[in-house]
């Protein structure tokens, strides 16, 4: 079974800052990690390879430093890594990103049996990319999967949808996006990391190698423009009260009574 896992390098959560002028995330100088759900997708791919044989290829679109994420994926056990990188890709929205990833998948020696993605990232967090790749490649897709079993040339998967657990059979080739519950993520062995960072090769493809025009990528290839960026309005008053425990309980009780959350009788019982 040939499996492709799509991996995005994202800023580590506490480091996320915003460039308010360009309305994009500041990625420079921020510690980066593999998007956590993409690590889950990778583990799932490696597990399926263990059961069915085949190869796992990891694919990432991003700047040159995304190579680190791919090297970590190689250390985890992936067979091949491909970085899609080109200054022309800067400013791509999710549609242009999916287009580049889909084109790279078509350019692989043989079409993969299974594409694995995370459901969403922790930075842009749209959940668009997996479904858009599937649409572009005309593949069946199942999103939010938390259990996978292999039955012949189909997968039987479970996903949580609107509070119900659905079991879906999907024929291959297909795209599956995964949830955190699917499987635990192993720590990376130090020796494997050393080998991946010093000895393993990463293939690089840019716009021209992918046969894409300038109009298909970056801002020109994007269907959306960010018009405004606003921090969410605070929903808490953030009032701080200090004093003895007795005074604090009294204060909390009276405040809840005043808001009609607590009856006067309840408050004093």
Which residues contact ligand FAD by CB under 6 A? 6-8, 24, 35, 37-38, 59-62, 90-94, 97, 101, 117-118, 120-121, 123-130, 222, 224-226
For ligand FAD, which is the closer residue by CB, 77 or 130? 130
Cβ at position 85, least distance to ligand FAD in Å:
10
**Residue 250 C-beta: closest distance to ligand FAD, Å:** 47
Torsion angle (degrees, nearest 10) of CA 190, 192, 198, 202: -130
Q: Which two tokens stand for residue 136?
A: 């572009």
The torsion defined by the Cα of 148, 151, 152 and 157, in degrees rounded to 10, comes to: -40
Q: What DSSP letter does each residue of 96-154 carry, written as one string?
A: HHHHHHHHHHHHSSS--SEEEEES--SSS----HHHHHHHHHT--EEEEEEEEEEETTE
Q: In the complex, what is the shortest distance from the CB of residue 268 to ligand FAD, in angstroms, rounded to a whole number?
A: 50
Strand partners, 34: 9
Nearer to ligand FAD (CB atom), residue 2 or residue 9 = 9
Closest C-alpha to 172, from 191, 150, 202, 196: 150
Nearer to ligand FAD, 138 or 235 (CB): 138
Cα–Cα distance between 261 and 223 in angstroms, integer? 47
- Which residue's Cβ has the minimum distance to ligand FAD? 118
Contacts of 168 (CB under 8 A, 6+ apart): 142, 156, 157, 158, 159
Query: With respect to ligand FAD, which residue has the nearer C-beta, 127 or 267?
Result: 127
The smaller minimum CB distance to ligand FAD, of residues 8 and 207, is found at 8
Q: Which is nearer to ligand FAD, 181 or 257 (CB)?
A: 181
Minimum distance from residue 40 beta carbon to ligand FAD (Å): 9
Neighbours of 231 (CB within 10 A): 7
Q: How far is the CB of 214 from ligand FAD (least distance, A)?
A: 15
User: Smallest gap, in angstroms, from Cβ of residue 194 to ligand FAD?
Assistant: 25
Euclidean distance between CA atoms 118 and 128, whole angstroms: 10
């Amino acid at each position: 079974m040939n499996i492709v896992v799509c991996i995005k390098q994202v800023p580590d959560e506490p480091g996320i800052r915003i460039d308010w002028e360009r309305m994009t995330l500041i990625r420079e100088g921020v510690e980066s990690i593999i998007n956590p759900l993409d690590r889950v997708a990778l583990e799932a791919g490696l597990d399926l390879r263990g059961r069915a044989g085949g190869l796992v290829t990891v694919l990432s679109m991003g700047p040159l430093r995304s190579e680190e994420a791919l090297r970590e994926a190689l250390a985890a056990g992936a067979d091949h890594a491909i970085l899609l990188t080109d200054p022309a890709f800067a400013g791509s929205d999710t549609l242009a990103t999916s287009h580049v990833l889909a084109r790279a998948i078509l350019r692989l020696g043989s079409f993969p049996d299974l594409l694995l993605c995370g459901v969403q990232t922790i930075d842009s967090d749209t959940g668009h990319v997996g479904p858009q790749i599937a649409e572009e490649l005309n593949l069946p897709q199942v999103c939010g999967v938390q259990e996978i079993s292999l039955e012949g040339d189909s997968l039987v998967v479970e996903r949580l949808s609107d509070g119900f657990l659905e079991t879906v059979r999907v024929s291959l080739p297909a795209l599956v996006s995964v949830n955190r519950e699917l499987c635990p993520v192993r720590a990376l062995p130090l020796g494997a990391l050393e080998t991946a960072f010093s000895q393993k090769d990463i293939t690089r493809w840019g716009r021209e190698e992918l046969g894409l025009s300038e109009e298909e990528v970056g801002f020109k290839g994007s269907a959306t423009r960010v018009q405004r960026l606003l921090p969410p309005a605070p929903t808490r008053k953030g009032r701080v009260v200090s004093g003895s425990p007795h005074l604090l309980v009294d204060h909390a009780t009276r405040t809840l009574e005043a808001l009609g959350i607590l009856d006067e009788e309840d408050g004093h019982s």
